[in-house]
Amino acid sequence: MRKPCWGLLLLLAAAPAWAQAWQVDYAHSTLAFTNAYQTVEYTGQFRRFTAAIDYDPADLAQAKFDVTVDIASLDTHMAERDHAALGADFLDAAKFPKARFVTTAFHESANGEVLADGTLTLRGITKPVTLTVKFVPHGTSATLDVTAQLKRLDFGIGAGQWADPSMIGDGVTVHGHLVLRAGH
Amino acid sequence: MPLRSTDAGWGALVRAFHWLIALMILVQAIIGLSMVGMGVTPAKVRVFALHKSIGMTILALVLLRIAWRSSERRPVDPPAMPRWQRRAARAVHLALYGLILAIPCSGWWFNSASGAPLVWFGWLRLPGLGGYDPFWKPRALLLHQSLVALLAALLVLHVGAALWHHFRQRDDVLRRMLRGAPKQHGGA
């Protein structure tokens, strides 16, 4: 009975690694956000980002997200707004070309939602941010929807003369929609 | 002071519409000409928002004014006025009405094509006339500016004619827009 036991152990040891690591299908994934300008909502997205996703809903202790965003890939569907938002008063893409979010711990809330605590470094400022995680497996692929509420002024985006939240809303809702393929 | 117009003079409401809209157009011209050169600052955003809000107010007032005028008589022209002058005056007045309707609409269109929000005095959100469109944006602006230039030219005629009536012809044309019906004709 010894040999089958070893085989089973090997399989168990290998299985989590196989099940957790995902490849992101970037062509079908989006990293979008919503903010308000003069109280009117608009949406934007970052066209280029990389995400390392290790996630098994049955093993949250091993889960990890590491996302790097190319700030200059901002697209708010309006060239003038993109140009202004990337300037020194706002995202300052020349000085801070990347934003990065790394999870620190996953846990389930009282109502069964999965929450991912992490740190977001944006415009050179690092703050704790919590994502709400919705993971839906479909065989060898899966969709991962994450949302987070940020405050732009926490990260010094449009601080100073543009700080008035009635002109540019302080609250920013981030929504990531990732299509995942089983990795190896 | 009668609210309605009579054969002898304009009613209080027509005069209120005329002078209120005239004042707002003057304010719009001053704001509009000074705001375009401003750098991108919150002050510029506020000044643009004010220009848009006043423009939408003018549009609403002009629509109300047309609705009111449609139920009003117009005072009779001075008897000495030749036919061509009556026709020219009517044509200029009609064109002025067309322009003070078209100018706010072209501004509204330009704002929409720019993808900019339109919130009337920070309080009432108005819909866009079509969405953000980089192709039509500069064309809408050119239309807005051209219509304003045309309005300025017609106002030279309009104001010039009013002053000519008052100081050269010494008739009641300007006075009845300022004070309504002259006293000697009675109030009706």
Domains of chain A, start order: 19-182 (2.40.128.110)
Separation of CA B93 from chain center: 10
pLDDT for residue A73 is more than 70: yes
**C-alpha separations of B166 from B1, B73, B177 in Å:** 22, 22, 11
Tens of pLDDT, residue by residue over A24-52, are: 999 999 999 999 999 999 999 999 999 99
Q: Taking the CB of residue A182, how many other CB atoms lie within 10 A of it?
A: 15
Better pLDDT: B89 or B131? B89
User: Considering chain B, what is the average pLDDT of its residues?
Assistant: 94
CATH class as words, domain B12-178:
mainly alpha
Q: Where are the alpha helices (DSSP H) in B70-184?
A: 83-113, 136-163, 175-178
**Joined tokens for residue B113:** 């094509």
pLDDT for residue A11 is more than 70: no
Per-residue pLDDT, B19: 98
Nearest-CA distance B100 → chain A (Å): 26
Mean pLDDT over B69-81 rounds to: 92
Q: Record the pTM.
A: 0.84
pLDDT for residue B4 is more than 50: yes
Helix (H, G, I), strand (E, B) or coil at A64: strand
Rg (CA), chain A: 19
Chain A interface includes B131 (CB < 8 A):
no
Among the partner residues A40, A77, A167, nearest to B45 by beta-carbon distance: A167
Which of B132, B135, B141 should one mutate to test binding to chain A, selecting the residue with the greatest count of A CBs within 10 A? B132
Interatomic CA distance for residues A91 and A98, integer angstroms: 10
Interatomic CA distance for residues B27 and B50, integer angstroms: 10
Residue of A nearest to B121 (CA): A38
Find chain A residues with C-beta within 8 A of B114's C-beta. 80
pLDDT for residue B183 is more than 70: no
Asked if A79 lies within 8 A of B134 by C-beta distance, the reply is: yes
Nearest-CA distance A42 → chain B (Å): 10
**Joined tokens for residue B6:** 């009579």
Tens of pLDDT, residue by residue over B145-181, are: 999 999 999 999 999 999 999 999 999 999 999 998 7
Find chain B residues with C-beta within 8 A of A162's C-beta. 42
How would residue A6 be classed by pLDDT, with cut points 50, 70 and 90? low
Per-residue pLDDT, B184: 54
Chain A interface includes B1 (CB < 8 A):
no
Which value does ipTM take for this structure? 0.77
Interatomic CA distance for residues A29 and A77, integer angstroms: 17
Helices B42-69, B83-113: crossing angle, 10 deg rounding:
140
Share of chain A above pLDDT 70, in %: 89
Phi/psi of residue A133, nearest 5 degrees = -115, 130
Per-residue pLDDT, B171: 94
Non-local (6+) Cβ contacts of A14 within 8 A are: none
**Joined tokens for residue B55:** 């423009």
Separation of CA A60 from chain center: 17
Tens of pLDDT, residue by residue over A115-164, are: 999 999 999 999 999 999 999 999 899 999 999 999 999 999 999 999 99
**Joined tokens for residue B16:** 């209120």
Find chain A residues with C-beta within 8 A of B119's C-beta. 38-40
Return the domain boundaries, chain B: 12-178
Residues 52-111 of chain B with CB under 8 A from chain A are none
Find chain B residues with C-beta within 8 A of A80's C-beta. 114-115
Chain A interface includes B30 (CB < 8 A):
no
Helix (H, G, I), strand (E, B) or coil at A84: helix
**Joined tokens for residue B116:** 């900019």
Among all chains, which residue has been given the structure tokens 């801070």? A96
B155-164 CB contacts, 8 Å cutoff, 24+ apart: B155/B96, B157/B92, B158/B92, B158/B93, B158/B96, B161/B89, B161/B92
Interatomic CA distance for residues B53 and B151, integer angstroms: 20
